[in-house]
A and B are shown apart, each in its own frame.
Chain A
Amino acid sequence: MNASHASTPHAGHYYVPQPSLYPVFLSGGMFLLALGFILLMNKFAPGPWVMTAGAAVIIFVLFRWFGAVIGENQRGAYTDWEDQSFRQGMVWFIGSEVMFFAAFFAALFYCRTISVPALAGMDPLFTLYQGYAGGWPTSGPKGASFTPMGAWGIPAINTALLLTSGVTLTWAHWGLMKDKRSQLNLGLILTVLLGVIFLGFQAYEYHHAYTELGLTMGAGVYGATFFMLTGFHGFHVTLGAIMLAVVAGRSLSGHFDSKRHFAFEAVAWYWHFVDVVWLLLFVVIYWL
């Protein structure tokens, strides 16, 4: 069997990392975060403290774990073979995120096309909700009145911001491929900035919704789907912006070249995914 080894495409040694404590600590941090959140929601005093401890552990471990991976990468532990595993991992992870958003989109479509029309169309003799007319937006038969969010103010600006950030990120990628470092760095910084401005507008929009429009999480299925979808999207933009900032920092310290830049590409895929989710949101939540 030995003779055939030389002809294998992966004649090298696959990098299996040394034993590590990061995973078990990360699990412990997640346990504390979940336990603390449960205690907080059920009004037990230690809740916030347990949550804080859990979050601190998680942040600390993520710093160290990602730091270790970056260190291994910089000292050349990874070949194309390991790189391929990382790429597969990221693609399927984004796939799972797509399905996570699909659940909330499904809830939105279900309420708009099935539950609200069914509630409005019931026989008056058999319904608790006589006179409910249905339609969309709605806070349901017993919901408080509210003003829905218009599409062509802040949401349209946010759409433009995210689309532009997709362009600046691709521009940065071109810079990386052509070895133009300043284009790469500038593109990344612009993308992070656009993401942060997006989040600022989003925060302002939430404030406006709660204080002036009466649009809250409790505003029936419209409010519920609105805040669930835009809220989880905003959370993903936040994560994406943090990851982009890390990539920008690495790029400024000279990491990545035109051949080896998995982290850059992974974050770019993630950012474009978040972009596409926003376009869907803009159409089905704000516009139609």
Chain B
Amino acid sequence: MASSPSNMRQICCWRSLFRDFQNHKPQRRSLVTIQRGPVQKLNLPPNLPKQYWSQLPARLRPDQGKREIIIHKPIPSRAQTCKDPVSEVSSSQMALLDPTGARKRLFDYKNPEGVKVGDILHTTFKTGEPFSGVVMSIKSRGVDTSVLLRNHLTRIGTEMQVKVFSPLVQSMEVAQKALKRKRRARLYYLRKPKHDIGSVDKIVAQYLRQRALLMGGKAKGVGASRLRPSKKK
């Protein structure tokens, strides 16, 4: 312990001796120096040839001034340009799915010739068997409009809901209008045995026969001939 003060003193001496040399060391950049304002440009000769520019760091080159910050204009709001997108989409879909507008007119509730509940509707599909039945309800939802048809197939009550504007539906024809206007919008009471109409196949077959006579020749309508009357309406 006795020797330590002398040692300390020695070190202090050494430090004092070397202090001058330490000052001569080149100053290093530290984190503190980064925040000391803008970097001073070097006083380069104004007519420094261009071939020397590549040797300088980018920030010191005389041609580099302050970077221009580009401010883009905001994109115009879609809500401003298209006020009612839902109706626009539905109308475009309707134009795609029902170009002639015949199906839309058939299911327009203002149209007295259109489909009403209680009518017997004959529907043919592009894929699969045709289906006919009593219209129990019409759900008017624009392109998603659908009808609920009820029929008896091999004595089993069968209900099918068909999307009216589905591309799979080839034709929809009213085989028989209801005699009286129904007082209900949805004829769910037809499920009860008391009110059940039963099979409508006979009525539809008769309608198809009559139509075939009117159309001329063909006993049973196929494909194209079935499509025509629905387009006329």
> A and B: partners?
no
